[in-house]
Structure 1
């Protein structure tokens, strides 16, 4: 039995309420999903919070997914959760900005905790959020181009173009920042 087939069996069991199977899914995907969130947020606390929220949603909604498309379903939930986080963060940052303007306070900049090199972090931040997310899902989370296309409801050629343009911009940034 291949690992893909084993994963399908685990998902089927988890859908039936098997807590051990659900724990296996958490173990199988937690590292990849943490990395996915970290590479988008650059913050360990935010990443852990998003990961916890994702697994809670997964537990609540696992009965709605098809076992053969579980991974795409899970990453779509992760993507949607991150987009919600961004919207919430923008509102929060706007409130903080207003507060800082009123009281002329400055906040220290957050520093990377070393999980990513500062150079790569800065390079990813120069990309459009959509493109950065696709590149993280492709190269860190190791999703195939077809999985990305399915996940994003976009033609595969659109995903390929975004990855190509994003990698080109990353390369230019990294070459010019020396």
Structure 2
């Protein structure tokens, strides 16, 4: 896919609108899910997708073909989300959305085993508590945890996206997990 992305980016840079439309098609859902998981708001996630592709389009000449296109576009999307989070004041609501665009909470993507209805209620409550705990992570850990565990990016890819050394990513991931563990020990 990397070579195809690079080829499409080159064509789009040369003015090929169909190539740019293909890039949008390939990445719009991935960027939406990234933004939704970071911001927990459908409307804001949709805005981030639009802003990401606007930035991609206006900066295509700056894309370095030696790096993966996916890394470049994830960096743009992630930075836009981080900027949005910084501008936002921390607000938590009992009515906050916990579902993705398909009507499932993001824990539904985890492998599950059939459980009794009572166990499912406990599991569901636990998932909500984990999600709420992730929302309370300090910003510098939150992006790393989401990119690693929810977007399934490798440590190197996260390093490329956030422009940080892999050792920093490992440290933030470790500290983010510790933060979550301590928070969940208090709750569960």
TM-score (norm 1): 0.78
Following superposition, the deviation at residue 157 of structure 1 comes to: 1.0
- Identify the residue that residue 26 of structure 1 maps to in structure 2: 24
Following superposition, the deviation at residue 175 of structure 1 comes to: 4.7
Following superposition, the deviation at residue 45 of structure 1 comes to: 0.8
- Structure 1 residue runs of 4+, over 4 Å off? none
Q: Secondary structure at the match of 2:97?
A: coil
Following superposition, the deviation at residue 114 of structure 1 comes to: 2.0
Cα distance in 1 for residues equivalent to 2:30 and 2:22 = 14
Cα distance in 1 for residues equivalent to 2:7 and 2:181 = 41
Residues 114-153 of structure 1: matches in 2 within 5 Å? Answer: 114-115=99-100, 116=105, 117-153=127-163
- Check the 8 A contact 2:141/2:176 in 1, yes or no: yes
Residues 64-83 of structure 1: matches in 2 within 5 Å? Answer: 64-69=62-67, 70-83=69-82
Q: Secondary structure at the match of 2:66?
A: helix
Cα distance in 2 for residues equivalent to 1:21 and 1:39 = 28
The 3 A distance-change label for structure 1 pair 24 and 142 is farther
Structure 2 residue 87 is the aligned partner of structure 1 residue 88: yes
Please, what is the CA RMSD of the aligned residues?
Answer: 2.4
Q: Unmatched 5+ residue regions in structure 1?
A: 98-107
TM-score (norm 2): 0.74
Following superposition, the deviation at residue 113 of structure 1 comes to: 4.1
Residues 51-70 of structure 1: matches in 2 within 5 Å? Answer: 51-69=49-67, 70=69
- Identify the residue that residue 9 of structure 2 maps to in structure 1: 11
- Identify the residue that residue 101 of structure 1 maps to in structure 2: none
- Check the 8 A contact 1:50/1:81 in 2, yes or no: yes
Cα distance in 1 for residues equivalent to 2:167 and 2:87 = 31
- Check the 8 A contact 2:39/2:85 in 1, yes or no: no
Greater alpha carbon shift after TM alignment, 39-48 vs 68-77? 68-77
1 or 2, which has the higher helix percentage? 1
Following superposition, the deviation at residue 147 of structure 1 comes to: 2.0
Query: How many residues align structurally?
Result: 162
Q: Secondary structure at the match of 2:96?
A: coil
